[in-house]
A and B are shown apart, each in its own frame.
Chain A
Amino acid sequence: MRRWLLAAVLVCAFIILAAYYYANVSYHLDYLRESEVSANYDASVGRNVLISGEVVATGAQSFELKGEHGTYTILSSAAVQRGDGVTVVGTLEPGHQLRAATMYASSALLSALVYIRSFIALIFVSVLFFARWRFDRRGWVIRPRKPGSQERDGA
């Protein structure tokens, strides 16, 4: 009973902190996000904004970045390729243009490799966990597979 009460308290605390974050985060950022830009583009012109998306076209001094709410022309001489994932912070200009201040570009292959490596790690940790711990459905608790080996763990 005490366990479920404690769990409920922790869940409530988490929800309160998450809600406070969700409600206030935009006031504490030193840039606007794409959703805020798309909600009121004209008011965002001249301000710092952050856009993430995929490169859909490249040019000599600019490239086209497709975000969640639209496509932006990024004024930058950075070498990017079509399909790259790009996050850029810069000054918003009229006509869906953004003058880049700082930027990160990552190829689709590198991004995919991150997910593949992470998936392999997840499988590894899952196998390791269930080799040493088991879930007891009757008590809804996780127990060691070999209770006698506690002294090895310093317990």
Chain B
Amino acid sequence: MGNKATETGLTRAGRCVTVDWMAHVAFVFIVCALLALKWPMFGGRNTVLVMIGALLPDIFKLYLPLRLIWANAGDALMLFHIPAGTLLVCGLCALLFEAGMRKRVFLLFAFGMMMHYALDVLLISVTGGLMLLYPLSWETWTLNLIRPNNWLGTTILVGAAALVWCVLRVWNRAGREIADERTEDA
């Protein structure tokens, strides 16, 4: 049992498993860069809103410094890392933006939030995983595929993000040069 146990992994804070923020940001960048090819609203300054949306669930990690003064803050803050709670936070954050763009900002935050849970649900968890349907259900889900604290996964995602960024820069420059040549010919 013990040997088997060492092959099982989880990172635990309350009841949830977590990926580091660099992996979340890189994952969002890759997805948004690819989506922006077809839908420009995912590109430009909006990409960073999706990135922020992907970090919002981890506000619950405030329990770590709070642990120094209040031991059980994990349960109190856990709603931040549950989709229903994160959606409320997305709404609150969207209200900080100017009136005409709040709906779009909320949707971008919510999309980032979905990216966050899409990564977290892949992680191996001993305690059951993510409580995705609270308050409708207390059921937890995990796919038990990836070890948390996995530097290799983060490295691959960051490498892929850098590659996508380079390819898109070359692509955009080539597209601009072709457009300039056409303008000069005309």
Contacts and interface: CB of A to CB of B under 8 A. Distances in A.
A137 interface: no
Contacts of A77: 2-3
Q: Binding site of B, secondary structure by majority: helix, strand, loop or mixed?
A: helix
Most buried by B among A11, A17, A30, A61: A17
Contacts of A136: 98
Given A106-B11, A110-B151, A153-B43, A142 B126 contact: no
Nearest to B64: A115
A121 B22 contact: yes
Interface stretch (B71-79, B114-122, B163-171, B173-181): B71-79
A143 B104 contact: no
Interface in A21-65: 21-22, 24-25, 28-31, 35, 50, 52, 61
A87 interface: yes
B76 A22 contact: yes
Contact of B20 (A18, A87, A89, A114): A114
B159 interface: no
A21 B101 contact: no
Given A103-B126, A153-B46, A25 B6 contact: no
Interface in B46-67: 46-48, 51-52, 55
Given A6-B95, A102-B126, A132-B45, A154 B25 contact: no
Contacts of B71: 35, 68
B148 to A, nearest CB: 8
B89 interface: yes
Interface string B1-38: 11101101111100100001111110000000000000
Interface in B82-134: 82, 84-85, 88-89, 91-92, 95-99, 101, 104, 124, 126-128, 134
Contact of A22 (B44, B75, B128): B75
B20 A118 contact: yes
Contact of B89 (A14, A120, A153): A14
Contacts of A152: 40, 43-44
A115 to B, nearest CB: 8
Interface in A82-127: 87-89, 99-106, 110-111, 113-114, 117-118, 120-122, 124-125
Interface of B: 1-3, 5-6, 8-12, 15, 20-25, 39-48, 51-52, 55, 71-72, 75-79, 82, 84-85, 88-89, 91-92, 95-99, 101, 104, 124, 126-128, 134-135, 138, 148-149, 151, 154
14 contacts: A6-B91, A7-B92, A17-B85, A25-B78, A52-B12, A87-B12, A100-B2, A104-B12, A104-B124, A110-B149, A113-B151, A125-B25, A152-B40, A154-B40
Interface of A: 3, 6-7, 10-11, 13-14, 17-18, 20-22, 24-25, 28-31, 35, 50, 52, 61, 68, 75-79, 87-89, 99-106, 110-111, 113-114, 117-118, 120-122, 124-125, 128-129, 132-133, 136, 139-145, 149, 152-155
